[in-house]
Structure 1
Amino acid sequence: MDALYTAAATANGREGRAVSSDGTLDLPLALPPALGGNGKGTNPEQLFAAGYAACFASAMGAVGRQEKIDVSDVSVTAEVSIGKDAADGGFALSVVIRAELPDHLQGEPGRALLEKTHAFCPYSKATRGNIPVELVIE
């Protein structure tokens, strides 16, 4: 791969800060209450969900342009879950991508668009075969 852009961020744990190298991102981190924390900050799962949703929506725009499909009214939500990994006793992630599609993309046209987007999206490529990713049309 020939890198066109590289983002860098530093964090000092799940309860600290996450700061990008250019200072644009500077967020407090905290465990969510469901994991025993106070929830007074963001967490890696929220950051991953935001990045994945934005990337998937952008990828859908690119696929839509290639296929001559209007995706201007599409909204994408990524739900990132963390839970126990039965294989090693640690933790594992899973993702549900929810695409809110307009009427003209309901049914098979929307399913085909989601599948093509999932094949094209860099986040989907990075997670493929590593964590379960479910695609849902709403």
Structure 2
Amino acid sequence: MKKNLYTADASAVGGRSGHVRSATGIIDLDMSVPEGLGGKKNATNPEELFAAGYASCFQQALLVIAQKGGDRLDPETTVQCSVTLFQEGEAYGLSAVLDVDLKSFDQAKTLDMVRQAHQICPYSVGTRGNMEVELRVKGEAVPALADSK
């Protein structure tokens, strides 16, 4: 049974060269095309916001997996998310790379925890089958499992 836990609301005006604001007012940012594509400095873009949200959410999933396994994550654990905007024909798309450094677990345990987190993270669940997401541990690709989807 689906149980709604939280709904976030935000609005945008002006597209990529406009402004976004959350209903709470915590997010209140000018937007721009990425600077490397001719945009202005000191403004964010949708890909940057997506990367920050995905990294944070994936780290929380790792915390949940660690707790369920009776473990604790090192406070210096990091999740780096890179989101790429690409064009394919007339359409645009996104891909993501999540690079995890758990600091204190061996390789086998780390790989297992990253795979489990990818199964429960809401961003991973929401993007599965819709965009390419690559998992890495300290820069090295996480080998796919035969039955992994």
Query: TM-score, length-normalised on structure 2?
Result: 0.85
Match of 2:33, SS? coil
Unaligned runs of 5+ in 1: none
**In the alignment, which residue of structure 2 is the partner of 1:4?**
5
**In the alignment, which residue of structure 1 is the partner of 2:116?**
116
**In the alignment, which residue of structure 2 is the partner of 1:81?**
84
Query: TM-score, length-normalised on structure 1?
Result: 0.92
**In the alignment, which residue of structure 1 is the partner of 2:19?**
17
Aligned letter for 2:131? I
Match of 2:17, SS? coil
Match of 1:57, SS? helix
Match of 2:29, SS? strand
Aligned letter for 1:79? S
Q: How many residues align?
A: 135
Aligned letter for 1:8? D
Q: Structure 2 CA distance, aligned partners of 1:123 and 1:75?
A: 17
Q: Structure 2 CA distance, aligned partners of 1:34 and 1:52?
A: 22
Aligned letter for 2:19? R
Q: CA deviation at 1:4?
A: 1.4
Paired residues of 1:31 and 1:39 also in contact (CA < 8 A): no
**In the alignment, which residue of structure 2 is the partner of 1:133?**
133
Higher mean Cα deviation, 11-20 or 34-43? 34-43
Q: CA deviation at 1:33?
A: 2.2
Q: CA deviation at 1:116?
A: 0.2
Aligned letter for 1:3? N
Q: Structure 1 CA distance, aligned partners of 2:7 and 2:47?
A: 21
Identity within the alignment, % = 36
**In the alignment, which residue of structure 1 is the partner of 2:39?**
37
Unaligned runs of 5+ in 2: 139-149
Q: Structure 1 CA distance, aligned partners of 2:18 and 2:132?
A: 28
Q: Structure 1 CA distance, aligned partners of 2:52 and 2:82?
A: 9
* 1:69-92 alpha-carbon deviations (Å, 9 max, x no partner): 221331111110001124xx2111
Aligned letter for 1:44? P
**In the alignment, which residue of structure 2 is the partner of 1:54?**
56
CA-based RMSD of the aligned residues comes to 1.2
**In the alignment, which residue of structure 2 is the partner of 1:70?**
72
